[in-house]
Amino acid sequence: MPNPEAYVGRPTSRVDGPAKVTGAARYAAEYFAPDLAYGVVVSSAIARGRITAIDTAAALAVPGVIHVFTHENRPRTAWLDYNYRDEVAPPGSPFRPLHGPEIQFSGQPVALVVAESFEAAGYAASLVKVEYEAAGHVTDLEVKRHEAYVPKKKRAGVKPPPEPRGDPEGAFGAAPVHVDGDYTHAIEHHNPMEPHASTVVWEGDGKLTIYDKVQGSQNSQKYVASVFGLNADDVRVVNAYVGGAFGSGLRPQYQLFLAVMAALELKRSVRVVLTRDQMFTFTHRPHALQTIRLGADEEGRLMSVRHDVVQSTSQFEDYQENIVNWSGLMYRCDNVALTHKLAQIDTYTPGDMRAPGATTGVFALEIAMDELAERVGIDPVELRLRNYAEKDQDENKEFTSKELRECYRIGAERFGWSRRNPAPRSMRDGRELVGWGMATGCWEAYFQKTSARARLAAGGELEIATASSDIGTGTYTILAQLAADDLGVPIERVAVRIGDSSLPASPIEGGSWTAASAGAAVQAACGAVREKLLGLARSIDGSPLANAGIEHVAFRDGRIELAGDPERFVTLADAMQAGGVEHVEAEETVSPDILTSMRYSMYTHSAIFAEVKVDEELGIIRVTRIVNAVAAGRILNPKTARSQVLGGIVMGVGMALEEESMLDHNLGRFMNHNFAEYHVPVNADIHDIDVIFVPEHDDKANPLGVKGLGEIGIVGTAAAIANAIYHATGKRIRALPITPDKLL
């Protein structure tokens, strides 16, 4: 019998809240060791070429400086690319810090200055003199577009475009209504508030404890062991608190390599923290040039969909994301062609940033759909209903669940969509034009192999352990809720241990899969503890549960009760005493069911409605209202779930209106590498946001029936805003961000 749900499904406040509001929560750069030294990175001034001379004499003369590492004196590390390839590395040759004189991107680390104090290291870093021989670089994707290629080696876990279906060209020619447009967005940098940092504590005898800003402690652990030839048991990586990441911490970043290298060589503890401008020297959302061609009949039914993309990558790795498949998935269409190519520019390798691929591709598709609705002369919601996909045509599979129709209905109703005058420039509020736009969102509901351990003590303390992470997502809290309900203990008695490579195996926290995966693993471990406890309870002489199976009992308030007859019970303490044990422990591993994944597709869906107000004379855009109706299966915690979607929407507002990493193609460098010039939404940019969770039952996607929420909030948001801007102004802007100059 399922246990009564005291916590799951309720808006439980974060269990890590007190630590975070008092400053007690410690992040990667906030651990200390008796002999801690400070490393500061020197970044390259050119985008491509080689170092011809590097002079560290002045830096070494600064009092307190211990050592300056460069490519000329770096310690030996592993030789093969294989050793540098982390859990989520794309195909290619991973970047190796200080490997040699070659420069592959602007801002590449060229030296690490280590000193007794941060101030001495920082000053000395400014004295390192580097001479370069620059080679020609190209950072403009448009220039490299003609060299675009289909990557030979596919990135693991990323679906390549499906084979074309039907006759897209013929159907496009025959279609009476066409949309044909080029779409693009700016390169974006993740910019979590916590800069990337690693504190490497030298424990002696080659043992290291590393506090790393990363989304997977075991990914960093394996990387460090493999690159530096260490025994994995001698490397413990801790990421108990992560100050945001949004994908920037999926792969170990170069500060980790540098800090470990210095600690091993100097045999002392070292901290390396990147500066905010250095946060613009590694992963980013890639640039993409998109073309969409839609053909439809006069009722708006799609006859042909074509979506072609050229996406930027580095010169050394083929980073790939799924940008185009959504265009074959989200709407019913029998004639579809989707292509995805890469072109290499001289930047660091791009990487996954919140809903990678979907954020990019769906923004273009959903603006194109808005254009189609206008051309056909029907409401944008009605257009989407007419083309509703009942199955996944990309893979010819049924959906495990899809309550998108309800998202449209409930979202439209809450927003007041029926009062919309479809004509552009038809609505006003004083001196501002008012626009209403909408879009669909979609993201995969992943489920990954994960292990967890549960340990219940006779005193009632329950410890949950898995190497999973909480990057602000609420992992600590949902795992505590699940465990408390499973074993019938108060949530205050549950200690959740995550963010430590020494705990049971877990993948990186990404893809919105952690709630489903770590959650199911915790539930499985708690289930095994329940079975063991019932066995002990039944073994008591004259046990009231002597004939009870696990389905006949409930765990509540520290007791195992007979369902329907709660007066017949055994306390957990008595059960353990009977068994002569002081605690009961179990570790379990959950994995996706192969047969289910072969038969079904699993996606989260949303319908987003946005209101903008535009000052016509100044071009200033305000997003005054957003309603996002999300169907994401079961909601474990409405409070933290809502926050996840809110966060995605806010980043979507940034993508639509503000965020733009500007490359100076002459220097090959991101020029606006700080928060004064790379604009992210601030408090005053954000107005009313209404998040609705549409009821959705899913008994196939994973054992918990949850679908993950970290990414769905951003998908479609930029399109809904761009469509609202069109409705307000009559100006169709297909290049993000939509800054005031584009409206004037």
Partner 1 sequence: MSPSQEASADAAGIPVTLTVNGTTHRLTVQPTAVLLDVLRERLQLTGTKKGCDHGQCGACTVILDGRRVNSCMVLAAMKDGSSVTTIEGLAEDGRLHPMQQAFIEHDAFQCGYCTPGQIMSAVALLEEGRANTVEEIREYMSGNLCRCGAYVNIVAAIQQVLATGRRSATP
Catalytic residues: 711
Binder among 2, 23, 430, 564 for partner 1 (CB under 8 A):
23
Under the binding rule (CB under 8 A), the answer on residue 195 touching partner 1 is yes
Q: Which is nearer to partner 1, 573 or 646 (CB)?
A: 646
* Shortest Å, Cβ 640 to partner 1: 6
Binding segment toward partner 1, per CB under 8 A, in 244-252, 312-320, 406-414, 698-706? 244-252
Q: Is 504 in the site for partner 1 (CB under 8 A)?
A: no
Interface pick for partner 1 out of 51, 112, 120, 479 (rule CB under 8 A): 120
Choosing from 52, 421, 591, 674, the residue that interacts with partner 1 (CB under 8 A) is: 674
Contact window for partner 1 (CB under 8 A) among 311-319, 429-437, 582-590, 637-645: 637-645
List the one residue out of 362, 445, 378, 441 whose CA is nearest residue 408. Answer: 441
Which residue among 57, 78, 682, 744 contacts partner 1 (CB under 8 A)? 682
Nearest to 173 by CA among 296, 331, 327, 324: 296
Return the C-alpha torsion angle 161, 164, 168, 169, nearest 10.
100
Select 557 or 685, whichever has its Cβ closest to partner 1.
Answer: 685
Q: Considering only residues 5, 30, 167, 406, which one is a binding residue for partner 1 as defined by CB under 8 A?
A: 30
**Smaller CB separation from partner 1, 405 or 414:** 414
Task: Measure the CA–CA gap between 363 and 342, rounded to whole angstroms.
Answer: 19
Helix (H) or strand (E) holding 720: helix 717-729
The answer to whether residue 675 forms part of the interface with partner 1 (CB under 8 A) is: yes
Interface stretch with partner 1, choices 2-10, 238-246, 257-265, 697-705 (CB under 8 A): 238-246
Residue 579 CB contacts under 8 Å (≥ 6 apart), including other chains: 535, 536, 539
In angstroms, give the least distance from the CB of 192 to partner 1.
6
Q: Does 418 bind partner 1 (CB under 8 A)?
A: no
Query: Measured between alpha carbons, how far is 693 from 683 in angstroms, rounded to an integer?
Result: 24
Q: Which two tokens stand for residue 696?
A: 């959705």
Find the shortest distance in angstroms from Cβ 14 to partner 1: 7
Q: Which is nearer to partner 1, 472 or 511 (CB)?
A: 472
Smaller CB distance to partner 1: residue 331 or 363? 363
Considering only residues 642 to 661 of the shown chain, the ones binding partner 1 according to CB under 8 A are: 642-644, 646-651
Q: Which residues, other chains included, contact 594 with Cβ-Cβ below 8 Å and sequence gap of 6+?
A: none
Residue 118 in the binding site for partner 1 (CB under 8 A): yes
> Does residue 62 bind partner 1 (CB under 8 A)?
no
Q: Cα–Cα distance between 631 and 578 in angstroms, integer?
A: 47
Q: Does 18 bind partner 1 (CB under 8 A)?
A: yes
Helices (H), 86-185: 118-125, 141-144, 168-174
Which whole-number Å values give the CA distances from 364 to 184, 306, 687, in the listed order?
8, 12, 25
CB of 729 to partner 1, least distance (A): 24
Q: In what order do the strands lie in the sheet with 391-392?
A: 391-392, 397-399, 600-601
Contact 351, 247 (CB under 8 A): yes
Minimum CB distance to partner 1 smaller for 283 or for 335: 283
Give the span between the Cα atoms of 565 and 621, in whole angstroms.
62
Among 3, 7, 8, 29, binds partner 1 (CB under 8 A): 29
Please give the order of strands across the beta sheet that includes 494-497.
494-497, 462-465, 450-457, 583-590
Size of the residue set binding partner 1 (CB under 8 A): 67
Q: Which residue has the tokens 């990175």?
A: 41
Residue 104 or residue 253: which is nearer to partner 1 going by CB?
A: 253
Tokens encoding 70: 């460069």
* Calpha distance 42→103 (Å, rounded): 13
Please tell me whether residue 84 binds partner 1 under the rule CB under 8 A.
no
Closest to partner 1 by CB, 547 or 683: 683
25 binds partner 1 (CB under 8 A): yes
Per CB under 8 A, which region of 156-164, 166-174, 678-686, 693-701 contacts partner 1?
678-686
Spatial separation of the C-alpha atoms in residues 148 and 320, rounded to whole Å? 13
Contact range with partner 1 by CB under 8 A, out of 41-49, 90-98, 243-251, 571-579: 243-251
| Interaction between residue 34 and partner 1 (CB under 8 A) | yes
Tell me whether strands 432-444 and 603-615 are parallel, antiparallel or unpaired. antiparallel
19 binds partner 1 (CB under 8 A): yes
CB 616 within 8 A of CB 543: no
Q: Is 241 in the site for partner 1 (CB under 8 A)?
A: yes
Task: Assess contact for 321 and 356: CB atoms under 8 A.
Answer: yes
CB of 403 or CB of 658, closer to partner 1: 658
Of the residues 117, 184, 571, 624, which one makes contact with partner 1 according to CB under 8 A: 117
The one among 3, 7, 8, 14 contacting partner 1 by CB under 8 A: 14
Binding span for partner 1 by CB under 8 A among 32-40, 139-147, 177-185, 457-465:
32-40
Greatest Cα-to-Cα distance within the chain, rounded to the nearest angstrom: 86
Instruction: State CA 711 to chain mean position distance.
Output: 6
DSSP state letters, 390-433? SEETTTTEEES---HHHHHHHHHHHHTGGG---STT-EEETTEE
d(CA 583, CA 23): 33
The CA distances from residue 8 to 13, 153, 632, in Å, are 12, 42, 15
State in angstroms the smallest separation of the CB of 475 from partner 1: 11
Beta bridge partners of 452: 588
From 189-197, 540-548, 552-560, 573-581, give the range in contact with partner 1 by CB under 8 A: 189-197
Does residue 20 belong to the site contacting partner 1 (CB under 8 A)? yes
Residue 267 phi/psi, 5° resolution?
55, 45
* Range in contact with partner 1 (rule: CB under 8 A) among 10-18, 69-77, 169-177, 489-497: 10-18
Near partner 1 in 439-478, by CB under 8 A: 471-474
For position 75 contacting partner 1 by CB under 8 A, the verdict is no
Selected from 680, 700, 731, 733, the binder of partner 1 by CB under 8 A is 680
Amino acid, single-letter form, for residue 275: T
Which of these ranges, 81-89, 193-201, 285-293, 514-522, lies near partner 1 under the rule CB under 8 A? Answer: 193-201
Per-residue tokens: 65: 């400086």
Work out how close the CB of 120 gets to partner 1 at its nearest, in angstroms, rounded to a whole number: 8
Minimum distance, C-beta of residue 288 to partner 1, in the bound complex (Å): 22
Contact letters (x/-) for partner 1, 265-294, by CB under 8 A?
A: --------x-xx------------------
Residue closer to partner 1 by CB (options 354, 538) is: 354
At residue 58's C-alpha, the angle toward residues 347 and 32, to 5°, is: 70
Question: CA-based angle 243:245:251, to the nearest 5?
Answer: 125
Binding site for partner 1 (CB under 8 A): 13-14, 16-27, 29-30, 32, 34, 38, 63, 117-120, 122-123, 191-195, 241-246, 273, 275-276, 471-474, 639-640, 642-644, 646-651, 674-676, 680-686, 688-689
